[in-house]
Structure 1
């Protein structure tokens, strides 16, 4: 289990086939301080297993399903990646519960500068597209993981094409210490919905039709419809 608080930016040094898998060699320092064989490290929010390491690098293999369901398949030598070790039992939960199991890759649709005085280093607002199947688990002021980063949802909505979207505000510190500082519209990021929201959704599923009708998953929550009626 992870928290979405990135510990360092690593760099892909090598990538090559290893049987049915792809082996990645990633340059790093901080996450290697207590590394052991078989340990887990999240790479852009995808949990990988340490199979080998040296003083400033470690290696992992990604199976075809991981390459298909995450943006790890698009990584090339030189790319920066977000790295995080699992949460220690006595540590603070600084972000939110992140399992390292990516739900989908989603597109970055827009990037808006919020700090006009510092366009290169100031706060920005990012807008992401979202599959309808995951929309019920993304709510205003809720948590999501983007490329392994724990972030707070600023707003949810739909674009001019009717697609589900959500916005997040990224402060200068987060831009500097994660890959969000170099993401541009058109990029695809790893998305993991809040685990607790998914559990509640699964438990409520047998009862949703009685209370909300068939639109619960595909459309919106009752609170969203109430707000729309007030506008």
Structure 2
């Protein structure tokens, strides 16, 4: 995170943005979870038509990000490589997929071929994915329409890649020059499938600007 301070009417300001370094390599671990359930209560809500059920999904993805180049605007071309993956998918209390690339018994799974694969994208100083340059999809022999095929397709979809690598906590580039006390916000939509969707506004506040090595 780049926070460069300067004087403005006697106050300290900072540019709140990402600063990339050519050939820099960073490892990340990203975990996402989603759960919804239906529970019927009451004597009249019994029988086969009123069965409690739970849907649950959990993804743990460890990947390496290598910066291949940085242009004059500060945008970085980043190569993403998948190092480790755990994927658990439960629908109506039935486990459809339980994969862990660290488990020896899962080494022959089509999902195991995701390890070492990845994609190249462009990231802006505002933490936005501005371009997906290429995607290295694994060559797997899986039945079209199967759970594994849908999971692999979903992991490499443009929407998933954008959500995975966009930093929504940063202000837009046109408003990233801030002073202590300034705020910014963004709206995040969350889908609950059959139960509809909700939108949440997240508000951030810059508490303090500090100098490091005279900057």
Identify whether the pair has TM-score above 0.5, normalized to the shorter chain. no
More strand by share: 2
Q: Which fold has the larger relative contact order, with Cα–Cα distance below 8 Å and residues 6 or more apart in sequence?
A: 1
TM-score with structure 2 setting the length: 0.22
The structure whose Rg is larger is: 2
TM-score with structure 1 setting the length: 0.21
